[in-house]
Structure 1
Amino acid sequence: MSDWKAKRFWKEVCVSENPEGFGIALDARPVRTPAKRALHVPTRAFAEAIAREWEEQKGVIDPRTMPFTRTANAAVDKVAVQKAEVADMLAAYGDADLLCYRAEHPESLVARQKAEWDPMLDWAEMALSARLETRAGVMHAPQNALVLKNLRARVHALSPFELAAFHDLVSLTGSLILGFAATTDRFSPKAIWKISRLDEIWQAEEWGQDEDAEAAAAIKEAAFLHAKQVFDLLRS
């Protein structure tokens, strides 16, 4: 097995504007995606974040330290070529949204879900014109078709780059509503993440923390906060 690894070959990283958006170049060589497509991003702020990752590479290139580059590559190579399918997949979360499926007992958990999740559903009704209904237990019950149609249209209106970030905002929380909330400045992203983990937090308070579960949650939280950063850079 070869142990060859790509190493830094460039001296200068720069950002340039072009008709397709903003590109990143290494000694005048344009950065391309793994699929060899030109990497052009919509905003200078996002391009500069990617450029910083390339500038910070010393010696062997470590893709694990380049989350903005990975997200941009995913947007170009994966999302853009199947945008409708990705949008439909994410919109489907609305019909089984985390916030809608409530515990039937114990009362302390029931009360906490109501206190923390109901305000988010209220916000969605006001901000997204989408009122999702709650259900007791875990059995699926479909939401109003017109409400889902409205939410689906909002997801499809996102650009491929926004969808790449939105994917993590939704899938990591299990909630289309929390994903949309994270795209605004109305709520703290850390508060949204905490709301999405209400059940796990309650269980840890009742039965004690599981170190492995907490470590896994920390990795997911970092990915969620990164996705929020990307979304903000795309709208800066």
Structure 2
Amino acid sequence: MHYCIMLRSLVALHCRIGQTVLPRQRHHIQRHQSLIPYLQNAKCSGSAITERRKFYKDVSISQGEGGLYEISLDRRKLKTPGGKLFTVPNEALAIAVATEWDAQKDTLKFYTMHLTTLCNTALDNPTHRDKDQMITAALKFLETDTICYRVEEPSSLVELQKHEWDPAMEWIEKRYNVVIGSSSNILGPEIPQETNDTFRQHLSSYNFWALTGLEYVITQLKSVILSFGLIDRHLTVEQAVLLSRLEEEYQIQYWGNVEWAHDYDMYELRARTAAGALFVHLASESSTVKRKLLQD
């Protein structure tokens, strides 16, 4: 039931985005260069476009060789953009991906199918990286972590950052027994080597698939600290996203905003972050889901 609730929330969030964004504005969606070039170029998912007319009726999953799970659209097996058979390591993730495809209506909105995209990235590994390289890339974000950089003025924003960001900083330092700190200097705080070593060891405990999702979350929030808080369930998706946008939200309170653009940015970031976090947990799932979440 836990997976079912998370999946339904994610699909609902995707639907809200698809309904509120104007077609001519969809090409403004920002993608992390190393992780998300894939779904738009998928051979089975569609051509180099973000939408396509739905070409199937039924979505099903099956267990293939080596215990891996496959997705079929009208009995045609899904493939990655690189031409590989689309396989996932466990039933929970297979059900989540199948749910994304099953939730599509008359038009396939590929830009909402974040779990499928992350699977494609893990399977094709377009940047040809190993675990160590992914961990190094993730830790690079610690040097420019959103909540490590503090302003010196105005005083109201200084106080807001202290009030909202300090608890997250205190949590991660206590949780992992590390020192990070913050700075108003443009160079940011000097991260101790011991902290990097601790986080590297922690990240090494994740498998390649989970690291793909975790790096994706980190790029969305621009923060290792907030991402760890989210994955460890210390923060909700809404809290993590709001904390990552704290300065922007502060500026909006003073200067106003284009309402639809702000709402779209917020919903889209929440959807990507939620999908990434869900992907991390599902990619780490080793047990088989006994009860199917997809019903005819």
- TM-score tier, shorter chain, comes to 0.7 to 0.9
Q: Which residue of 1 aligns with 2:277?
A: 228
Pick which of 200-209 and 26-35 moved more: 26-35
Distance 1:154 1:28, change over 3 A: same
Q: Which residue of 2 aligns with 1:21?
A: 68
Q: Percent identity, please.
A: 24
Q: Which residue of 1 aligns with 2:238?
A: 190
Identify which of 130, 145, 148 aligns with 1:100.
148
Instruction: Report the AA paired with residue 74 of structure 1.
Output: T
Instruction: Report the AA paired with residue 220 of structure 1.
Output: L
Distance 1:130 1:201, change over 3 A: same
Aligned-pair Cα RMSD in Å? 2.7
- Please give the alpha-carbon distance, in whole angstroms, between the structure 2 residues aligned to 1:202 and 1:12: 44
- Please give the alpha-carbon distance, in whole angstroms, between the structure 2 residues aligned to 1:97 and 1:111: 19
Distance 1:100 1:55, change over 3 A: closer
- Once the two structures are TM-superposed, the CA of residue 81 in structure 1 deviates from its matched residue by 3.6
Distance 1:76 1:48, change over 3 A: same
Distance 1:82 1:202, change over 3 A: same
Task: Indicate yes or no: 2:229 matched with 1:160.
Answer: no
Q: Which residue of 2 aligns with 1:130?
A: 178
- Please give the alpha-carbon distance, in whole angstroms, between the structure 1 residues aligned to 2:79 and 2:155: 54
Asked whether the equivalents of residues 206 and 284 of structure 2 are also in contact (C-alpha less than 8 Å), the reply is no
Distance 1:176 1:44, change over 3 A: same
Asked whether the equivalents of residues 97 and 176 of structure 1 are also in contact (C-alpha less than 8 Å), the reply is yes
Q: Which residue of 1 aligns with 2:100?
A: 53
Instruction: Report the AA paired with residue 233 of structure 1.
Output: L
Identify which of 110, 118, 121 aligns with 1:63.
110
Asked whether the equivalents of residues 115 and 276 of structure 2 are also in contact (C-alpha less than 8 Å), the reply is no
- Please give the alpha-carbon distance, in whole angstroms, between the structure 2 residues aligned to 1:179 and 1:216: 18
- Once the two structures are TM-superposed, the CA of residue 72 in structure 1 deviates from its matched residue by 0.6
Segments of 5+ residues of structure 1 without an aligned counterpart are: none
- Once the two structures are TM-superposed, the CA of residue 144 in structure 1 deviates from its matched residue by 0.7
Count of residues in correspondence between the two structures? 233
Identify which of 79, 87, 91 aligns with 1:44.
91
Instruction: Report the AA paired with residue 77 of structure 1.
Output: D
Distance 1:57 1:171, change over 3 A: closer
Report SS of the residue matched to 1:136. Answer: coil
Segments of 5+ residues of structure 2 without an aligned counterpart are: 1-48, 286-296
Identify which of 27, 31, 39 aligns with 2:78.
31
Distance 1:27 1:221, change over 3 A: closer
Q: Which residue of 2 aligns with 1:205?
A: 253
- Once the two structures are TM-superposed, the CA of residue 62 in structure 1 deviates from its matched residue by 4.8
| Cα deviation digits, residues 42-89 of structure 1 (max 9, x gap) | 321110111233345567755335332111101111279413322211
- Please give the alpha-carbon distance, in whole angstroms, between the structure 1 residues aligned to 2:88 and 2:157: 44
- Please give the alpha-carbon distance, in whole angstroms, between the structure 2 residues aligned to 1:181 and 1:190: 12
Pick which of 121-130 and 5-14 moved more: 5-14
| Cα deviation digits, residues 123-156 of structure 1 (max 9, x gap) | 1112222221111242334311111122123223
Asked whether the equivalents of residues 30 and 38 of structure 1 are also in contact (C-alpha less than 8 Å), the reply is yes
Asked whether the equivalents of residues 71 and 165 of structure 1 are also in contact (C-alpha less than 8 Å), the reply is yes
Pick which of 223-232 and 105-114 moved more: 223-232
- Please give the alpha-carbon distance, in whole angstroms, between the structure 1 residues aligned to 2:105 and 2:145: 43
Asked whether the equivalents of residues 23 and 47 of structure 1 are also in contact (C-alpha less than 8 Å), the reply is yes
Report SS of the residue matched to 1:135. Answer: coil
Task: Indicate yes or no: 2:137 matched with 1:112.
Answer: no
Distance 1:56 1:141, change over 3 A: closer
TM-score under structure 2 length normalisation: 0.69
| Cα deviation digits, residues 76-105 of structure 1 (max 9, x gap) | 112794133222111111122111111111
- Please give the alpha-carbon distance, in whole angstroms, between the structure 2 residues aligned to 1:218 and 1:55: 21
Identify which of 35, 40, 55 aligns with 1:8.
55
Asked whether the equivalents of residues 109 and 202 of structure 1 are also in contact (C-alpha less than 8 Å), the reply is yes
- Please give the alpha-carbon distance, in whole angstroms, between the structure 1 residues aligned to 2:199 and 2:147: 15
